[in-house]
Amino acid sequence: MGEKVNLIEKFINDNKLDFSGSGSDLNGNCVILAGYACYLELTWDELCKGIWPDDMIQPAIYEELQRVFDYAQNHNYGEQWKDPNQHKVYVYPI
């Protein structure tokens, strides 16, 4: 899990994802993060415990990210990250 969590943290930093917003700002960044996490085949627990250890995640972020992550998993959002064209939009290792 450690290597994948490091990739998630680097992805958040490299793409300047900010989870301090609300509404569509928060949703958009949660969708991006959830899709990339699905690409890495992380579970919900791995994602949350890896990034926000010891339940340090704010409730609004937790709820939105969980809702979006569940949807992303059920709708195969991880697949889009296999497309090399995604590198034109986001910074991440293939």
Examine residue 94 and state whether it is found in any structural domain, yes or no. Answer: no
| DSSP labels, 11-75 | HHHHTT---S--HHHHHHHHHHHHHHHHHTT--HHHHHHHHSGGG-S-HHHHHHHHHHHHHHHHT
Residue 1: is its pLDDT beyond 80? Answer: no
pLDDT in the model for residue 55? 63
The answer to whether position 88 is within a domain reads no
Residue 89 lies in a domain: no
Cβ pair 92, 47 in contact under 8 A: no
> Tell me, what's the pLDDT at 53?
65
Instruction: Answer whether residue 50 is part of any domain.
Output: yes
Rounded mean pLDDT of the chain?
A: 88
Domain assignment present for 90: no
The one-letter amino acid at 26: L
In a domain, 24, yes or no: yes
Say if residue 75's pLDDT is above 90: yes
77: pLDDT strictly greater than 90: yes
87 falls within a domain: no
With respect to residue 78, please indicate whether it lies within any of the assigned structural domains: yes
> So what's the pLDDT on residue 6?
85
Q: What confidence tens digit (pLDDT) does each residue in 25-69 have?
A: 899 999 999 999 999 999 988 888 777 766 677 888 889 999 999
CA distance 58 to 28: 17
Residue 6 structural domain: 2-82
Q: What is the domain count for the chain? A: 1
